[in-house]
């Protein structure tokens, strides 16, 4: 009789744990190779996990909504069909927590102000605690929402938002503003945020707390680009079987400008600025649920316009049908948010941490404009749009941001209306 241990997979390099959303199978059910067994979620993406083997589900170790560390056994699959015997490994982290059998990793000397942990903390929770200078005694005082009171990521983030934070470098207390309490009135409808909306909310608040945001605007004449697209879009679709939108051109131009201004294609680590080698451009995609996700076009500066068009359309479709892989939304170095999709002139998007800038593209509209000609100035109808750049003023000054935005304007306005692809 052969048994297979199904482990919680590692969905991305930075992922340490995942939440079980739904079990598609229960103990005793037959499962085929590549058949979906369960759906899990991380702070990045939701994924269905297929069975690597044929067999019968012998035992499931975690219930729905459990937060499970990467590499932990979540189920046993009996590949011989005999479910009468117990699997060799039946003890899991959840069971050890419930029986209080988890001990500290090693013996350490303690003082009156230093205590040992009495319960299990995931690597992610310990990492957040270390980064935010949260002591073991503080962790021990938290009421966890996980199995047997286990402290989860959202518990420690909530604690941070409800208390005063202490910066490790200065030991200076920085008060965190608590949101006002809202009491619903009669007839008000209360809609609980879904999991993705909660993650978005936490990420946006964190970004505003981390980065001092500044935003620059510039108007761009994209008449040549509009004329070129109108001329070529039908033949492009006939040949490539995919639509030609403006986004591939925006990504192409942005990638070129980022190569010239590497300080915009960067991240911040303490007092270090990390200039990214790769140019991986994320594009914000609105989902049918009303939420937002940012798939990433990797190595955008190395792709042709045709390649960018396919990448953009494929990623957008996968995002809307919930088929993105964890790798599709990781390692972005810069983001574009297209406000023009909603016929908006412009916007001031929030930086997608740990990046240092984000570009907003507005709606393209016909406007009267003054043009210089050999015989004098004339008023003509031109296609114009507004670009805005939100940037982290810790490391990006107005001069660099303004120069980058103006260079992007030049690239778009110099678009060759006779360009072939």
Catalytic positions, written as ranges: 393, 397
Q: Which residues contact 378 (CB under 8 A, 6 or more apart)?
A: 370, 371
Cα separation, 409 vs 224, whole angstroms:
13
Ramachandran region, residue 56 (left: φ > 0; alpha: ψ -120 to 50; beta: rest): beta
What is the sign, positive or negative, of the torsion defined by CA atoms of 389, 393, 399, 404? Answer: negative
Question: Phi and psi of 98, rounded to 5°?
Answer: -65, -25
Contacts 24+ apart (CB under 8 A), 304-311: 304/421, 305/248, 305/249, 305/252, 305/421, 306/240, 306/421, 308/248, 308/251, 308/252, 309/236, 309/240, 309/242, 309/243, 309/244, 309/245, 309/248, 310/240, 310/242, 311/248
CB 11 within 8 A of CB 18: yes
Q: Residue 97 has which token pair?
A: 């927590």
CB 333 within 8 A of CB 265: yes
Place of tokens 């009495």: 118
SS3 content of the chain, % helix, strand, coil (to 5): 30, 25, 45
């Amino acid at each position: 009789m052969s048994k297979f241990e199904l482990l919680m997979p590692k969905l991305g390099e930075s992922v340490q744990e995942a939440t079980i959303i739904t079990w598609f199978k229960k103990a005793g059910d037959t499962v085929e190779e590549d058949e979906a067994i369960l759906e899990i979620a991380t702070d990045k993406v939701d994924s269905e996990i297929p069975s690597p083997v044929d067999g019968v589900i012998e035992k499931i170790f975690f219930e729905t909504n459990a937060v499970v560390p990467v590499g932990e056994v979540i189920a046993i699959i009996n590949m011989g069909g005999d479910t009468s015997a117990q699997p060799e490994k039946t003890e899991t982290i959840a069971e050890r927590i419930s029986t209080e059998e988890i001990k500290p990793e090693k013996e350490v000397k303690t003082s009156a102000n230093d205590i040992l942990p009495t319960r299990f903390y995931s690597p992610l929770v310990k990492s957040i605690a270390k980064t935010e200078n949260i002591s073991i005694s503080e962790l021990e005082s938290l009421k966890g929402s996980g199995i047997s009171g286990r402290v989860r990521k959202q518990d420690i983030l909530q604690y941070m938002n409800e208390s005063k934070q202490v910066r490790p470098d200065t030991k200076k207390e920085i008060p965190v503003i608590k949101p006002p309490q809202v009491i619903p009135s009669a007839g008000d409808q209360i809609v609980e945020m879904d999991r993705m909306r909660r993650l978005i909310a936490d990420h946006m608040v964190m970004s505003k707390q981390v980065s001092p945001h500044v935003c620059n605007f510039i108007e761009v004449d994209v008449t040549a680009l509009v004329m070129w697209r109108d001329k070529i879009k039908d033949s492009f679709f006939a040949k490539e079987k995919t639509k030609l939108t403006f986004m591939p051109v925006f990504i192409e131009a942005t990638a070129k400008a980022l190569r010239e201004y590497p300080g915009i294609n960067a991240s911040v680590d303490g007092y270090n600025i990390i200039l990214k080698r790769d140019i991986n451009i994320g594009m914000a995609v609105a989902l049918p649920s009303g939420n937002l996700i940012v798939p990433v076009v990797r190595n955008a500066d190395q792709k042709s316009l045709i390649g960018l068009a396919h990448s953009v359309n494929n990623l957008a479709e996968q995002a809307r049908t919930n088929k993105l892989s964890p790798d599709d939304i990781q390692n972005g170095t810069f983001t574009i948010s297209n406000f023009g999709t909603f016929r908006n002139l412009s916007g001031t998007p929030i930086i997608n941490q740990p990046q240092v800038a984000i570009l907003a593209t507005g709606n393209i509209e016909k406007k009267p404009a003054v043009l210089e000609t050999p015989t004098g100035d004339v008023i003509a109808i031109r296609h114009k749009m507004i670009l805005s750049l939100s940037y982290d003023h810790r490391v990006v000054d107005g001069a660099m941001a303004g120069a980058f935005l103006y260079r992007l304007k030049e690239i778009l306005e110099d678009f060759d209306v006779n360009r072939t692809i």
